[in-house]
Structure 1
Amino acid sequence: MSPSDLARVQFATTTSFHFLFVLLTLGLVTLLVITQTRFTLTRAPVHERMTRFWGRIYVINYALGIATGIVMEFQFGLDWSGLATYAGDVFGAPLALETLIAFFLESTFLGLWIFGWGRLNRWVHLALLYLTALTAYASAFWIMAANGFLQHPVGYRVEGNVLRLEDFSALLGNPTFGTALVHVVFASLTVGGVFLTGVSAYHFIKRTPEVDFFRRSLRLGVVTTALVTPSLVGAGFAQFPIIEELQPGKFAHAPGTALGFMILIGMTLMAVSWLTLPLLIKDAVIRMRFPLYLMVIGIPLPFLAAILGWVFREVGRQPWLIYGLLRTEDAVSQVDSSQILLSLIVFSSLFVVLACVDWALIARAVRRGPDVTPAPVSPLVVTL
């Protein structure tokens, strides 16, 4: 394989892995805001226990997601020096803001939230979670702004052989940015809703004694999925005319199978969640084991749909890395194929390890279930 092909494979692998962590993080933090707000207002112990249980899973996923993000950043310098040289002044601006928000503000707020259990005023503690969620979405905001520039470059001027940032507001008004960001947000909420639904269904299959706890979690997951999926599908279709206008021929060049399966999964999740809503009445769904098995099996579906959508968005832009300005083959670092292959093997192996660790820790937390009584100190610190 050529250096360009290897670099593309590496970018696809690392980005896809990292994206999976991001989706669950954004989805879970939003649902945590709901459960902790309920606890703060009502002081009901069940809502505190829900926040602690789902919060433990959120922290596990967040910590390993940060690790995958750090690994992914190395590939820009290793494989794509041409992009940094040509458009670093424009493309790097939103990435720098994302780094400041994700690695500093979000991590700081999250750390205070984790270690603030039982130590901070409950309203202050709730505010920290709101700030964590806001900075998480701000991180996604800047990442999608950077990707929007690759899809449809705006706000730049050509100075010699490089691009210079001329109008920062144009990056935020990019038509390929806004609709894609909305689509990612609804995809994340769908992932969170389906995850809560599947984990709760798993505990009902195992005849959990925590009936009230997981009944509430199941309802929250199903209702979230039912409310969000129509907007998810609508936001996806809303991008079609923009793509046709700004990237003519993309539908012909991109893998249609990926787009087709993504749409099919989205429509299926929407239909199933709406059909499940009536079964929540008098807990009918809890007594029907077949739907519970379907809920557990359905956990990977929104993740798969998101990756298929990402493949369509990125592959369809080829052969351009920056559409109309910089070809992919011209952005690759001038290094031997063997060097890129080595980094591909190392990074892919590391990502597989991180994914396995994430799955193992989350699976252990899920099997363990919620704490019987709230601990005086935060139980969210993960010990290996």
Structure 2
Amino acid sequence: MDPLDIARWQFGITTVYHFFFVPLTIGLSALVAGLQTAWVRTGRTDYLRATKFWGKLFLINFAMGIVTGIVQEFQFGMNWSAYSRFVGDVFGAPLAIEGLLAFFVESTFLGLWIFGWDRLPKRIHLACIWLVAFGTLLSAYFILAANSWMQHPVGYHLSGATGRAELTDFWAVLTNSTMLVAFPHTITAAFVTAGLFIVGVSAWHLARRKHVEVFRSSLKMALVVTLVSAVGVAITGDVQGKVMTAQQPMKMAAAEALYSTEQPASFSILTVGTLDGGREVYSVKVPRLLSFLATGSFKGRVQGINDVQAAEQAKYGPGDYRPVIPLAYWNFRIMVGVGFLTALIALLGLWLLRRGRLPSNRWVWRVGVLALALPFVGNSAGWIFTEMGRQPWSVYGVMKTASSVSPTVGATSMLISVIALTTLYGVLMVIEAGLMVRYVKAGPPSETEVLAPPGGDGADSEQSLTFAY
């Protein structure tokens, strides 16, 4: 057993699992804030009921995100101590600010929002949930700044005395060109996730004609958000692809399984390669499309895997600088395919709901429920592609993953850690699913419950949920 492989498996499992909750938290916080704003402005009870219903699910997801996210930072010291020593001065700065500033804002104002119902003035209470939504965006910004530094290191120098990367320009880290395209792409994907989550849950209730007044408006809002955000994902993804081509040509070549440099380059819909990923055997292509995606010109030149491999060997020394080609290729297509499918579902849903209609065909509602899973698949594929496509580098062009693992932690210790954490996360998944299903089935509170006086039988359900944790 190779400690490096085990450490990578552990980080991959825990990171993908944690990222189930992150985009949903980001998107739901803003959508709950939007629903509460609609209630404050109109006084309509159905908006208040929707706010409290979706607020419950947001709280469950937020709590699970915190629990699963704590392990991420511990792993840097546990399994990746060599990496932590080398880049801690740079990498730790945005993560520290995320914890001290962004998460502080999130947790503080979330507490005020949970316990402030009927205690704070309406508009101040509303401001609390908007500040929570702002805090989630701020957290995402600083975390993506740290991750983008791994993709495109800037604002540092290598110390001759310590051999460590030392921060020289924090503003350069925060305005990294990679981060400036990754942030809007991630946030729009988060709104697609939250939108289709609301679509799926609303479809389940509307198929049974339950709480129609609440879920009809929730569904329409979610479909609009999903469609607009899916267009945003496509636009920002296109920009990100061009930046990636310039900064990490091997990742783009791997995403297309393009072995030889082409000008113009065709986009591969389906490619079958040799088992070792060394060459293409069969491919179905769209002429010139890859050139446009990579360079913005239908006549653009796109470097192939073999040429990039030769260039990187000349620059960095002997070694294999190719990622796992099939993994990069198929995860890229899953990510892109899910993006287009979510936009199509949102467009179809809005057409079926036009003029206040409510479809009677059960297949429509089944599609809506099944669509709930799509963004989670797309998000996972996107992150796997982003991180695995950078291999063999942990910090691109600066530090290899093989040099980042803890030198004194043995394979047995790491294996025990993987088994323990995977088991724990499996238990947490059961708890998460159980809580979600329970509160989804319960539906929104009734008008009597949401309008009950403070301290009465209809005491705030979010408080009860919080104490239940």
Alignment TM class, shorter chain as reference: over 0.9
3-state SS of paired residue (1:157): strand
Aligned to 2:462: 380
What amino acid does structure 2 have at the position aligned with 1:149?
Answer: W
Q: Distance in 1 between matches of 2:208 and 2:74?
A: 43
Q: Which residue of 2 aligns with 1:185?
A: 187
Return the alpha-carbon distance in structure 2 between the equivalents of residues 340 and 306 of structure 1.
27
Secondary structure of the 1:332 match is coil
Aligned to 2:285: none
1:273 is displaced (CA, Å) by: 1.0
**CA distance, structure 2, for counterparts of residue 43 and residue 263 of structure 1:** 41
Tell me the residue number matched to 1:280.
Answer: 353
Q: CA deviation at 1:105?
A: 2.0
TM-fit CA distance, 1:104? 2.1
- Aligned equivalent of 1:353: 427
Q: Contact conserved, 2:103 with 2:136, CA < 8 A, in 1?
A: no
Aligned to 2:297: none
Counterpart for residue 11 of structure 1: 11
1:336 to 396, 400, 410: 410
Alignment of 1:1-384 (within 5 A): 1-160=1-160, 161-208=163-210, 210-251=211-252, 252=254, 253=323, 254=325, 255-334=328-407, 335-372=409-446, 373=448, 374=450, 375=452, 376=454, 377-381=459-463, 382=465, 383=468
Q: Is the 8 A contact 1:201 1:218 kept in 2?
A: yes
Deviation digits for residues 74-131 of structure 1 (CA, Å, limit 9, x no counterpart): 2111101011100100000001011123542211110010000010000100111111
In structure 1, what residue type is equivalent to 2:391? Q
Does 297-306 or 286-295 show the bigger shift? 286-295
Deviation at 1:249? Answer: 1.2
Q: TM-score, normalised by structure 2?
A: 0.80
Q: Which has the higher contact order (CA 8 A, sep 6+)?
A: 1
Q: 1: distance between equivalents of 2:372 and 2:227? A: 15
Identity of aligned residues (%): 42
How far off is 1:205 after superposition?
Answer: 1.8
C-alpha displacement of 1:64? 1.3
- The structure where helix makes up a greater share of residues is 1
- Report the Cα distance in structure 1 between the residues aligned to 2:36 and 2:48, rounded to whole angstroms: 7
Aligned-pair RMSD on alpha carbons?
1.2
Give unmatched runs, 5+ long, in structure 2: 255-322
Letter in 2 for 1:342: I
> Residue by residue, what CA displacement relative to the aligned partner does 1:325-381 show, whole Å, maximum 9, x if unpaired?
111011100111111111111111111111221111011000000111315342113
Contact preservation (8 Å) 1:276, 1:285: no
1:310-337 Cα deviation digits (max 9, x unpaired): 0110001111100111110111001111
Q: How far did 1:172 drift?
A: 1.7
Shift of 1:46: 1.2
Q: Whole-Å Cα distance in 1 between the matches of residues 433 and 102 of structure 2?
A: 22
Q: Give the C-alpha shift of residue 285 in structure 1.
A: 4.0
Segments ≥4 residues shifted beyond 4 Å: none
Question: Does the 8 Å contact 2:150/2:394 carry over to 1?
Answer: yes
C-alpha separation in 1, matches of 2:5 and 2:63: 31
TM-score, scaled to structure 1: 0.97
CA shift, 1:282, in A, is 3.6
In 1: Cα distance, 2:103 partner to 2:206 partner: 37
Deviation (angstroms), 1:279: 1.3
Opposite residue 193 of structure 1, the aligned amino acid is G
Letter of the 2:167 partner, please give it: L
Q: Any conservation in 2 of the 1:229–1:270 contact (CA below 8 Å)?
A: yes
Alignment-mate amino acid for residue 366 of structure 1: V
Q: For 2:249, what is the secondary structure of its paired residue? A: coil
- Does structure 2 conserve the Cα–Cα contact (< 8 Å) formed by 1:200 and 1:217? yes
CA distance in 2, matches of 1:17, 1:171: 27
Q: Once the 2 structures are TM-superposed, how far is the Cα of residue 287 of structure 1 from its aligned partner?
A: 1.9
